[in-house]
Amino acid sequence: MQVVLEVRSLCKSYYKSGEWSKVLDDLSLDVYRGEILCILGPSGCGKTTLLRQIGGFDTCDSGDVFMDGIKISKAGPSRIMIFQDFNQLFPWKTVLENAIYPLKVNNIYSSHKERKAAAKACLKLVRLDGADDSYPFELSGGMKQKAAIARALALSPEVLLMDEPFGSLDAITRAALQNTLLDVWQKTGVTVIFVTHDIQEAILLADRIIVMEKVQGMVKRIISNTMDRPRNVDSSPFSGMYREIRDLL
């Protein structure tokens, strides 16, 4: 498989309560083009910090991240991040206007008609094409996350960075969004790096699972998930992998 992202010897510490706390400690990994990679671990283990480094939103103390062999020094449209927070959308813009916005500011397409058509296609991809004229306050949490995904997809990013995007949703909506994400991934081939602390979610989604140490931001184990999709949570292979990861955590 082709490597799209290389993380090399990342170290990151934060100063808190009068002392330095190490969040990432000499962390290295490769991300393959077109895969769903889940980063799994308890709160405070460095998952989000690692995602921010890959996105170019933060600087590390030492180490580098490369995309297609080029060092990442800042955020860019090739790597779009989606957060857990429901308030990612511009509240004064409709769903369609939110999806059009990144196309406009990045001067993608020469006309509003082309941008509108591209944005509509992204909304249809996440099954939100009936909410074009709705405002964020009129949407449920799940619909807001769908709109955020559609807006991200409008830029055709190479990598989608997702920081526990379904963590605040109820179980039924969460399952629906997981299926939507898998559908989007299968249709677009986008590389997805997905942060979660939910073992079942990681097994349902991922081609590979990075299990983080509880402290000091180190990779404890990388688990390949070769189960066929759609995955059955009641199957023996699923249960076996769940127990394996649970014991690691």
Choice among 5-9, 180-184, 217-221 with the minimum mean pLDDT: 217-221
Is residue 10 within 8 Å of residue 35, measured between CB atoms?
Answer: no
pLDDT at residue 45 greater than cutoff 90: no
Handedness of CA 98, 100, 102, 105 (dihedral sign): negative
pLDDT at residue 21 greater than cutoff 80: yes
Q: For the chain, which domains are there?
A: 1-78+160-249 (3.40.50.300), 86-156 (no CATH)
* Nearest of 137, 139, 162 to residue 152 by alpha carbon: 162
Predicted confidence band at 22 (pLDDT cuts at 50, 70, 90)? confident
pLDDT at residue 163 greater than cutoff 80: yes
What pLDDT shows up at residue 30?
97
Q: pLDDT per residue over 73-111, tens digit each? A: 999 999 999 988 888 999 999 999 999 999 999 999 889
Give the number of other CB atoms < 10 A from CB of residue 9: 13
Alpha-helix runs per DSSP H in the chain: 47-55, 95-105, 112-125, 141-153, 171-188, 199-205, 236-248
pTM, 2 dp:
0.94
* Nearest of 55, 123, 114, 65 to residue 94 by alpha carbon: 123
